[in-house]
Amino acid sequence: GAVVSQHPSWVICKSGTSVKIECRSLDFQATTMFWYRQFPKQSLMLMATSNEGSKATYEQGVEKDKFLINHASLTLSTLTVTSAHPEDSSFYICSAPLSYEQYFGPGTRLTVT
Amino acid sequence: RKEVEQDPGPFNVPEGATVAFNCTYSNSASQSFFWYRQDCRKEPKLLMSVYSSGNEDGRFTAQLNRASQYISLLIRDSKLSDSATYLCVANTGNQFYFGTGTSLTVIP
């Protein structure tokens, strides 16, 4: 099946710094990718839809200036958490659709101290 | 109202039992549906796709009722390894909507 990778898989950073997370579709092209956040014991919450070559579409309540998304190619989308705070600590997962199915990356666990 | 709603559980069942989860969706235009399995601290993995009335794969059966707008997942002969969170997903246009997940623990 299709493969989506994420990097890094785990990151610890200090409050106030920025963290970039990469999401790659390895064997297919994705004009759209999705970014989710998941807090412990909660379901996936869609943050934004990343569109290749155009601006991302953010869900209500998600700050676009804080969560910068860049979809520069058909196989790569990046999410940058700017000026991270402890409350941004979460599990961030990307996915890319192929046909009618979604393929998820393995996730990035962010801990902000 | 949420796009997709699930009973969060938890469901605690003995090994060998049959367990069923239900999921309702609000948008009648939803085209396809999925059940994903998510283990703790891991990404969701596709378990089953449901495009028409239903789908069966071994011990797992998914059914779709468009008139009542619900999807069900039936697990027969539960194994310890079935313990996980099961996410119901509805695809509407280019969007995928997740339920909150149902937690299942299979007890020896």
For the stretch A64-75, pLDDT in tens is 999 999 998 999
Mean pLDDT of B13-40: 93
Percent of chain A's residues with pLDDT above 90: 80
Written as six digits, the tokens of A106 are: 């393995």
- What are the residues of chain B with a beta carbon less than 8 Å away from any beta carbon of chain A? 31-32, 34, 41-46, 49, 51, 87, 89, 91, 94-96, 98-101
Tell me if A73 sits within 8 A of A60, measured CB to CB: no
Q: What are phi and psi of B96, to 5 degrees?
A: -115, 125
**A37 three-state secondary structure:** strand
Per-residue model confidence (pLDDT) at position A14: 95
Which A residues, 81 through 100, put their C-beta within 8 Å of a C-beta on chain B?
91, 93, 95, 97, 100
Per-residue model confidence (pLDDT) at position B9: 84
Least confident range from A41-50, B19-28, B73-82: namely A41-50
CA A109 to chain B, closest CA, distance in angstroms equals 9
**B102 three-state secondary structure:** strand
A104 and B CB contact within 8 Å:
yes
Written as six digits, the tokens of A46 are: 């869609």
Q: Tell me, what amino acid is at B86? A: Y
From the centroid of its chain, how far is CA B69? Answer: 14
Per-residue model confidence (pLDDT) at position A1: 67
- How many distinct helices (H) and strands (E) make up chain B? 0, 11
Per-residue model confidence (pLDDT) at position B1: 66
A100 contacts B96? CB cut-off 8 A? no
A80 pLDDT exceeds 70? yes
* CB-CB neighbours of A55 under 10 Å: 12
Least confident range from A50-54, A77-81, A96-100, B66-70: namely A96-100
pLDDT-based confidence at A108, cuts 50/70/90?
very high
Instruction: Output the CA–CA distances (angstroms, integers) from residue A88 to A16, A110, B12, B39, B79, in the order listed.
Output: 11, 8, 32, 22, 36
B8 pLDDT exceeds 90? no
